[in-house]
Amino acid sequence: MYGKAFAPEYQDELGSALGVNSSYEEVLATAGLARSRASGPLERARAALAVAEANRRLGRVADAGDAWRESYRSARTAGDAGAMAWALWSGGTLARQCGTLPLARRLLTHAVTLAATSGDRLAHGYSLAGLAETGRIQGDYAAVAELHEQLLEQGRAHGEARHMVWAMSGIAQMHRNTGEYAKALELFEESVRIATEADDARGRAWSLRGVADVLSVQGEPDRALELLSEAEVICRAMDLASALAYNHKMRGNVLYRAGRYAAARDTYLVALREFRAMHEPRGTALSRLGLTKSRARLGRDLRETLDELGELERDFTRIGLRHARDAVIAFRDEESATSAPAGPAPCCDATTHRSAAVPATS
142-179 tens-digit pLDDT: 778 888 888 878 778 877 788 788 888 888 988 898 89
Does the pLDDT of residue 335 top 70, yes or no? yes
Mean pLDDT of 11-32: 88
Does the pLDDT of residue 361 top 80, yes or no? no
| Cβ-contact 257, 222 below 8 angstroms | no
Does the pLDDT of residue 355 top 50, yes or no? no
Question: Model's pTM, two decimal places?
Answer: 0.82
Q: State the Cα–Cα distance between residues 8 and 163, nearest whole angstrom.
A: 12
Give percent above pLDDT 70 in the chain.
93
Mean pLDDT of the chain: 88
Q: State the Cα–Cα distance between residues 316 and 54, nearest whole angstrom.
A: 27
- Terminal CA-CA length for the chain: 88
pLDDT of residue 3: 67
Mean pLDDT of 308-327: 89
Quick: pLDDT tens for 177-224.
889 999 999 999 999 999 999 989 989 999 999 999 999 999 999 999
Q: Which residues of 77-105 are buried (b: 16+ CB within 10 A; e: fewer)?
A: ebebbbbbbbbbbbbbbbbbbbbbbebbb
Contacts of 87 (CB under 8 A, 6+ apart): 45, 48, 49, 52, 68, 69, 71, 72, 75
pLDDT of residue 339: 62
pLDDT of residue 1: 58
Quick: pLDDT tens for 110-139.
999 999 999 998 899 889 889 888 988 887
Closest by Cα among 206, 273, 276 to 238: 206
Lowest mean pLDDT among 146-150, 286-290, 356-360: 356-360
